[in-house]
Structure 1
């Protein structure tokens, strides 16, 4: 259909051929009209048949050649033949910026009205209406096509961003889940090994190994929940887990016994802060003591270690992921060496943001 429709439309170019051979014209005029029609039709087919679009300059040249052919027919046969500028106008509206085609169509209509008024004593409104309707219709159609293309591009971009956001969420959540769980498993497995090597206390080692098994099962459940997007961190549960993990690492824990003073909308982000902070204390600090303090709009994890954490740059999926979580509730995160020694991680929310 992309080839048949343009060819069918060209049937209207038979009119100037019929006109030049029905009326008394010289052979030169007839040859000129036939040549103009053949060139006009050939260029129109070249730009109208849907193929790979040529370069912009080639499209501009094609429109100029077609306009010259349309004007040439009007010069030879009369100003009312400017109605055949419809082919040049349609090509300009499709192959060039829409405004250029609109200006060409309006210009051709004006020239037709002025020319027929001068030559025939009155404007040819029928031919002018054809040009106006074609120009306005194709201009509107082209604008709709461009808008649809922009909408498709925006939709594709939104889909790409959604995939990237989901990947970031998965990476952040898996880091939060596995980082803490695997750290605790490692500490407890090492403790069980040391017990067996030093004292041979099999019963205590079995207890630690059972904890390792339980933690492994819990981590697997949390990973499944994370992949499904249903996982929610619990601040009370994280306090219990932190106490167990710090005890296994032989770090004295000074933790709150209740979280009632923390608003419900902040308990989940604070739970992630607690998990990441305690995990870093166990893995990086070399501390002997860890303190956790809670307020209505803040949480602080402090240790007496070396003052250096492996994730202290706030990059990657650790503290960087916490920064993203806190930003979602209008909060911020600071992490660095404490003035009196050790390392401190503090998250605070200036104003509570409810859903």
Structure 2
């Protein structure tokens, strides 16, 4: 992982930017093997090696220059490989600075032997600096290298013969800078995409937990109050209500575990049964559809979630005596004769099902109901159309 991607990761994601052993196998192949692409360009070191072979110098001097070029190549590759194994931006910068100083010191030997022809090594210095240092430091090193490459032939009086070194180093600078910027933007995009996925997953879990617990706790509360009233007058029925409460708590616990694991799926037939239990347990007269199969199979899960939240609100907030549930192929209507919405703001439950319906391209309308004559209040009507 280069300094660029590590800097972006550290800026966007919380916690350390290091790659642990557990997730090393999941790393981007480019991060693991990108150094190989940098090593391919070492073939161009054949030109200074050719110059060493042709220069008029003693054998030991030529051998020292050739050895220096080979060591230069080895240090360059080792630096690229080691850069990807650093644990953070600061560590990468320190490591790359040491390697860069070592490369420059090694380059002095072939420069002393072949002179201006050693300027080809500057391209590798610029490339390594651009990927290993901070952007500001890399720009400074690259500008200095470009200046040295442009002025050295002029001072040596061979500008017409060696002008192409300036062009080569300039092209390397431009291309590596473009790759650096694109890598930073790509790393930033990936980090933001992971952040968005994390936020979406958190919202899903929060919405599902609210839907599961809100309904289950409402029914448990209603049944516990009923059992408390019946415990002296009708112990047998009170015991039955307590058995239902125990069953509901176990079901709620299983649903919460499934929700956290991302496995929770609401079933329309089960929600209709649960709605009947909740409404009758709260003392409401309820008209429910007999056949859940009338709903389009594509929409049953979503309609089940909406039904759960709507019935929970009827039991918890409406104060109604009567509730009617109408189920169509692509619609669901839950109407009660309770106190109505009044000035109450939309809660998390309605907001959650509104998000679910909108994500499916449907429409949710919540307004006053017109259920029965003589209703105590204006009532509430929740209608979903898909």
| TM-score over 0.5 (shorter chain) | yes
Query: Shift of residue 294 of structure 1?
Result: 1.2
2:344 corresponds to 1:344: no
Matched, 1:320 2:320: no
Matched, 1:181 2:197: no
Q: Deviations over 1:256-275 (max 9, x none)?
A: 11122211010000001110
Match of 2:325 in 1: 292
Map of 2:179 onto structure 1:
144
The residue that corresponds to 1:168 in the other structure is: 203
In structure 1, what is the equivalent of residue 107 of structure 2?
9
User: What's the CA shift for 1:149?
Assistant: 2.4
1:130 paired to 2:165: yes
CA 1:247–1:153 in structure 2 vs 1: closer, same or farther (change >3 Å)?
same
CA distance, structure 1, for counterparts of residue 299 and residue 152 of structure 2: 78
Do structure 1's residue 332 and structure 2's residue 369 form an aligned pair?
Answer: no
Residues 132 and 273 of structure 1: is their aligned pair in 2 closer, same or farther, counting only changes over 3 Å?
same
Q: Displacement of 1:143 after TM fit?
A: 2.4
Alignment counterpart, residue 201 of structure 1, candidates 230, 234, 246: 234
Q: For 1:2-151, list aligned pairs within 5 A.
A: 2=99, 3-10=101-108, 14=112, 53=134, 76-78=155-157, 80=159, 116=160, 124=161, 127-151=162-186
Q: 1:72 to 1:148 in 2, by over 3 A?
A: closer
Preserved contact between residue 238 and residue 271 of structure 1 (Cα < 8 Å): yes
1:307 corresponds to which of 333, 340, 352: 340
Q: 2:267 aligns with which of 223, 234, 237?
A: 234
CA–CA distance in structure 2, aligned partners of residues 133 and 72 of structure 1 = 14
| Structure 1 residues 347 and 282: alpha-carbon distance in aligned structure 2, compared to 1, 3 A threshold | same
1:148-180 Cα deviation digits (max 9, x unpaired)? 222222222222112111111111111111110
Structure number with the bigger relative contact order (C-alpha 8 A, sep ≥ 6) is 2
Which residue number corresponds to residue 158 of structure 1? 193
Contact 1:261-1:295 within 8 A present in 2 as well: yes
SS, match of residue 185 in structure 1: helix
- The 1:227–1:128 alpha-carbon spacing in structure 2 relative to 1, beyond 3 Å, is same
User: Is this contact kept in 1: 2:146–2:170, CA < 8 A?
Assistant: no
* RMSD across aligned positions (CA): 3.3
> Partner of 1:260: helix, strand, or coil?
helix
Q: Does 1:254 align with 2:287?
A: yes
Deviations 1:129-163 (A, max 9, x none): 33333332343233233322222222222221121
How far 1:17 moved relative to its partner?
8.9
Gaps of 5+ in 2: 1-74, 76-98, 117-121, 372-377
What is the number of equivalent residue pairs in this alignment? 275
Gaps of 5+ in 1: 19-40, 81-115, 117-123, 350-355
Q: Could you report, residue by residue, the CA deviation over 1:188-245 in whole angstroms, capped at 9, with x for unpaired residues?
A: 000011122xx52111110111111111111111111112211211111111110110
Query: Distance between the aligned counterparts of 1:329 and 1:262, measured in 2?
Result: 15
1:85-108 Cα distance to aligned partner (Å, 9 max, x none): xxxxxxxxxxxxxxxxxxxxxxxx
Contact in 1 for aligned 2:287/2:324 (Cα 8 Å)? yes
Bigger-Rg structure (1/2): 1
Q: Is the 2:129–2:142 contact (alpha carbons within 8 Å) kept by the matching residues of 1?
A: no
Q: What TM-score, normalized by structure 2, do the two folds share?
A: 0.62
Q: Secondary structure in 2 aligned to 1:320?
A: helix
SS of 1:253's partner is strand
Q: Check conservation: 2:324, 2:335, Cα contact below 8 A.
A: yes
Distance in 2, Cα, partners of 1:222 & 1:54? 50
Tell me the distance in 2 between the aligned counterparts of 1:158 and 1:128.
46
